[in-house]
């Protein structure tokens, strides 16, 4: 469903962007903490603020995400949890969920921890199929919850509920628990997404997505091939093969301009792909093209959707070496790599607020 790393390598330097790791947050806990953003410089990762100032200097081999005052960091062997000062809240003891090698100089490790949401991250592990597998919640202090329950998978907490898949088969259905582990919505869906303002994406079967309420009742019938959660009052839905549009909370299509792909809105801006030209463009909630100058830059290698007001991008290094070989992996966990590029962040005015080689 359409819902960083290294030491200083000798040139070329492999740089990555991760859509999943940079995904936005929701809920009251997020509002209590300043927004910080993972940033890579010379092969090491730290945190910057919205103005592009370093808050945590680069020192981690990989930094997956930062939300609600907590980040998911990799020390070279395992993942742990850090605070806004870059100090370990939970020591690195969480095993990687796997790795993807992109280009010859770069290996990305899948995090077993999800970004924090409403005070919790989810930890799932399965180092070998059907051996020593399990899931539990981890709170802001690194303490485990729901350890005594058997779940094949747990999703991120949303509006007090956590998606769960019972440990009773590879294709068992999904439902929702509360954070005490009590079943709130029985496992009955092929797949589910997080709640936003009382509605969550859910699939009755493969390619049959709609939206349910917190009672598990259909509010928008499952008639779409795929969906994203709601944001800014709109949700991207696939209404035909490679044909995306946006619906409102009543399920009515309000934007249908030939999008081959579409991302959730963030502060009124979404990234879409035009079906005719295959070119990416930003749009506002009225479907009008926005921030054209960003995508027309000669030094832009690639850019990801906005998250909390900033969009991560890869741009040419100041030595003018271009992008170099690039890799764009699967859509669900969108990872982008470019050998010669440097990381940057754009604000919603289309200005660069930070770049790695400044």
Share of the chain above pLDDT 70, in %: 82
Which of the pair, 99 or 329, is modelled with greater confidence? 99
- C-beta separation of 226 from 210 below 8 A: no
Give the integer Cα–Cα distance in Å for 144 and 121: 10
Which of the pair, 261 or 358, is modelled with greater confidence? 261
| Secondary structure (DSSP) of 55-116 | EEEEEESEEEEEETTEEEEE-SS-EEEE-TTS-EEEEEEEPP-EEEEETTTEEEEE-SBPPP
The DSSP 8-state label assigned to residue 146 in this structure reads S
Structural domains of the chain sorted by starting position, each given as residue range(s) with its CATH number in brackets: 15-355 (2.130.10)
Owner of token pair 């969009």: 311
Give the integer Cα–Cα distance in Å for 62 and 224: 36
308, pLDDT greater than 50: yes
User: What local confidence, expressed as pLDDT, does residue 29 receive?
Assistant: 44
Tens-digit pLDDT profile for residues 124-153: 876 445 556 688 999 999 999 998 788 888
What is the value of pTM for the model shown?
Answer: 0.87
Tens-digit pLDDT profile for residues 86-130: 999 999 999 886 666 655 556 778 888 999 999 999 998 764 455
How confident is residue 16, by pLDDT bands cut at 50, 70 and 90? low
Q: Which of 281-285, 305-309, 320-324 has the lowest mean pLDDT?
A: 320-324
User: What local confidence, expressed as pLDDT, does residue 7 receive?
Assistant: 22
How confident is residue 6, by pLDDT bands cut at 50, 70 and 90? very low
57, pLDDT greater than 50: yes
Give the integer Cα–Cα distance in Å for 175 and 202: 9
User: What local confidence, expressed as pLDDT, does residue 331 receive?
Assistant: 44
User: What local confidence, expressed as pLDDT, does residue 137 receive?
Assistant: 95
Give the integer Cα–Cα distance in Å for 286 and 234: 11
CB atoms within 10 A of CB 32: 9
- SS3 assignment, position 33: coil
User: What local confidence, expressed as pLDDT, does residue 104 receive?
Assistant: 59
HSE-CB at 306 with a 13 A cutoff on CA atoms is 27
User: What local confidence, expressed as pLDDT, does residue 30 receive?
Assistant: 47
333, pLDDT greater than 50: no
Classify each residue of 289-326 as buried b or exposed e, where b means 16 or more C-beta atoms within 10 Å of its C-beta. Answer: ebbeebbeeebbbbbbbbbbbbbbbbbbbeeeeebbeb
10, pLDDT greater than 50: no
5, pLDDT greater than 50: no
User: What local confidence, expressed as pLDDT, does residue 71 receive?
Assistant: 96
Give the pLDDT mean for 256-269.
Answer: 96
């Amino acid at each position: 469903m359409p819902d960083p790393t290294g030491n200083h390598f000798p040139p070329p330097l492999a740089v990555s962007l991760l859509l999943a790791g940079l995904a936005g947050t929701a809920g009251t806990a997020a509002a209590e903490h300043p927004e910080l953003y993972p940033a890579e410089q010379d092969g090491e990762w730290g945190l910057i603020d919205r103005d592009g100032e370093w808050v945590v200097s680069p020192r981690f081999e990989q930094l997956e995400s930062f939300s609600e005052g907590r980040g998911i960091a990799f020390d070279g062997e395992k993942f742990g949890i850090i605070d806004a000062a870059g100090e370990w809240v939970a020591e690195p003891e969480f095993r990687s969920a796997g790795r993807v090698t992109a280009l010859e100089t770069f290996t990305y490790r899948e995090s077993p921890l999800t970004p924090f949401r409403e005070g919790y991250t989810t930890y799932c592990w399965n180092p070998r199929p059907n051996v020593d597998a399990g899931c539990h919640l981890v709170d802001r202090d690194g303490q485990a919850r729901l350890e005594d329950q058997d779940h094949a998978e747990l999703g991120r907490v949303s509006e007090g509920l956590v998606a769960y898949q019972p440990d009773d088969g590879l294709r068992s259905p999904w439902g929702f628990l509360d954070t005490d582990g009590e079943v709130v919505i029985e496992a009955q869906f092929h797949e589910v997404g997080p709640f936003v303002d009382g509605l969550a994406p859910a699939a009755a079967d493969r390619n049959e997505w709609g939206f349910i309420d917190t009672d598990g009742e259909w509010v928008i019938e499952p008639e779409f091939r795929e969906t994203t959660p709601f944001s800014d009052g709109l949700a991207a839905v696939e209404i035909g093969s490679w044909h995306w549009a946006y619906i409102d909370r009543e399920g009515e299509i309000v934007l249908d301009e030939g999008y081959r792909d579409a991302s959730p809105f963030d502060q009124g801006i979404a990234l879409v792909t035009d079906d005719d030209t295959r070119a990416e463009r930003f749009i506002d909630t009225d479907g009008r093209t926005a921030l054209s100058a960003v995508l027309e830059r000669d030094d832009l290698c690639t850019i990801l959707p906005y998250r909390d007001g900033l969009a991560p991008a890869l741009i040419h290094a100041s030595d003018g070496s271009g992008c170099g070989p690039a890799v764009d992996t699967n859509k669900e966990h969108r990872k982008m790599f470019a050998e010669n590029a440097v990381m940057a962040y754009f604000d919603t005015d289309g200005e660069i607020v930070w770049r790695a080689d400044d």
